[in-house]
Amino acid sequence: MSRTPSELRSTRMGPLARLPAFFALQGKRVVVAGGTAAAAWKAELLSAAGASVEVFAAEPSEDMLALAAAPPSGAVAVQRRVWHADDFSGAALAVADCVDDDEAKTFAAAARAAGVPVNVIDRPGSCDFSFGAIVNRSPLVIGISTDGAAPVFGQAIRAKIEALIPKNFSRWAEAARSWRPRVHALTLPFRARRNFWERFTQRAVTAPNAAPTDAELASLLDRAASRPSGSVILVGAGPGDAELLTLRAVRALQSADVILFDDLVSPDVLDFARREAKKMLVGKTGHRPSCRQDEINALMVSLARAGRRVVRLKGGDPLIFGRADEEIFACREAGIAVEVVPGITTAQGAASRLLVSLTRRGDARRVQYITGHARDGKLPADIDWASVADPAATTVLYMPTKTLPELVARAREAGLDPQTPAVAVERATRADERIIATTIADLPARLAAEPPSGPVVVLIGRVFADYVAAAKTAPAPLIEAKAAGS
């Protein structure tokens, strides 16, 4: 049975508590009412953005007077009186620190009557916009809002981002601003321009403390202007949990023009891709309609030949039962540049949720991965049954559901102890993960009684003895909830 590749339409934007927007205030007049320290802080932010700030306060604080004497950028003028309705004329924004809700409503109504967006400090009901927490690497500016629900949480997120972005990153952001007109003047095609900015970003991320130079600009432009060549990256999506993606995998997804992904890839993983990338399902699922491998190879090569940057996204690790060799060969034969970004294997993901080492000292001297079916869908004829029966081995069975009864019977004939602990993990590491822990003799019947609807991996070996023993004494939902991270 076969099916054709199909494009996945981008999902709609989810609901937003606030619309992130950035005001251009250079040289524009902004009204601030109140002379408190809180009002002074807002006036400082507005001045830093280049606004000409006019403060109305009968009794301005020392903070406000000090700010007026030495503003960060735009002038701050203090009028020692209360505001009037005509003060809003020509203002871009209005900000106030009010003593109560009645004063806040009066100020907001006057500002809105003049067509001026308003913010009243700590009075969300009278606000058209909010400030939020700010990470300043100007001209790179990051705003963080919790819609007033948890300001402390917003500040904690700001601290995390501050730690991730070096202070000197602002030099690269400034270089991007000054270089953009020069890049635009070259009238490069879209793909070349994007290539330039991708290379620029990669350089900035890898050398954030270096000073960007004109020589570097010339080098990046030369490389970007060359004829774009397509490429293919085989990327491991991991077993399901999107947080298990590697940094390199995320960078690949964010630079892709086209993403060819399997049914086993979690939808959450695709959220890391840039929104403009075309996402195409080229599903390969056992015993159900699937895209043929030769079709996938041909599509991948044709897209790369057209100059596209193609990401072939696979569940788990591409090099573990992912047919990576066939796709690598197809690319090499076509002269297409190809690379592999490994991922967390399903076996590793499952073991991490079980909190069991696959190579526990004294119980296992090796780990072996075995596929549960051959190309014809039947049990492979070349399995080394003695190795499966070896009590000192941990065996991981991929795609085992249909052939598990026969596999267990053959392994037992070869000497596998029927009481050997075994764990079946369905949808490993995902929120709806399901675990069945028992003996290898009982596992086929348990799976038949509780048929899986998602991908399954079976892990066999003495290292799971404690886990299986705990499963026998604890209620099944408790074991499953623990595994699912609940």
What positions carry a catalytic annotation?
262, 284
- Cα 91 to chain centroid, rounded: 40
**Residue 425 in 3-state DSSP?**
strand
**By 3-state DSSP, what share of the chain in percent is helix, strand and coil, each rounded to 5?**
40, 20, 40
Strand partners of residue 137 = 140
Q: Rounded to whole angstroms, how far apart are CA atoms 28 and 49?
A: 10
Beta strand pairing call for 231-236 and 337-341: parallel
Q: Rounded to whole angstroms, how far apart are CA atoms 265 and 243?
A: 13
Residue with tokens 């990401």: 311
**Residue whose C-alpha is closest to residue 426's, from 355, 374, 362, 353:** 353
CB atoms closer than 10 angstroms to residue 151: 14
Give the dihedral of Cα atoms 172, 175, 181, 182; nearest 10 deg. Answer: -110
Q: Rounded to whole angstroms, how far apart are CA atoms 357 and 277?
A: 38
**Residue whose C-alpha is closest to residue 449's, from 383, 389, 417, 405:** 405
